[in-house]
Amino acid sequence: MTTKMTDFSPMTYVPSVGGSRYGLVKTVPRTHYMSTIDPPGTFDTISSYTINGGSVAMNDYDLAANLPPDLRDTTPPTQPTSLVYSLLKGTSTAKVVLSWTASVDNVKVSGYYIYRNGRKIGTSATPTYADYFGSPTGTLYSYRVIAFDPAGNLSNASNTVYVSY
């Protein structure tokens, strides 16, 4: 952690920190926001944090009205379309280059998850991806792509393409 006490000026201590027993595992960086909803009753108005301008709690109406943009976004990106491939064969290796029509989102498309045979094998920030193989085996591979946005919303899967090498 690189935060220093001076980052919280004029306070001389770190504001409260929260935690949860629930986790969400993602392969892309995410920003986590925390707040305290004001319970019925009063809160401490004499702490140095409050006296120096810090807010101890907010009511549920203020929380809903001030959500960070990533938390307000519930619209998934559009489905990636027209997934196609080209197979570049070598004597002992091959490369499959996938390309598709880019998705659109109301905020932005952060990237694409690439699936081979139903398992995620990679991520791409652009509507292209290259996959590499070793010796030819005649195995049939299926590929599909799913777009994601900064809030973690997922698009529907693209069409499936089948590649044999």
Q: What is the mean pLDDT of residues 74-91?
A: 93
- Decide if pLDDT at 88 tops 80: yes
Provide the pLDDT confidence category of residue 93 given band limits of 50, 70 and 90: confident
Whether the CB-CB separation of 127 and 102 falls below 8 Å is answered with yes
User: 3-class secondary structure for 58-125?
Assistant: ECHHHHHHCCCHHHHCCCCCCCCEEEEEEEEECCCCEEEEEEEECCCCCCCCCEEEEEECCEEEEEEC
CA distance 75 to 92: 44
Residue 141: closest CA among 118, 117, 123: 117
Tokens of 142: 């299926």
Domains of the chain: 1-67 (no CATH), 81-164 (2.60.40.10)
Tokens of 127: 């509507």
Q: State pTM to two decimals.
A: 0.60
pLDDT digits (tens, 9 = 90+) for 131-143: 998 877 888 999 9
Q: Beta strand pairing status for 111-116 and 128-133?
A: unpaired
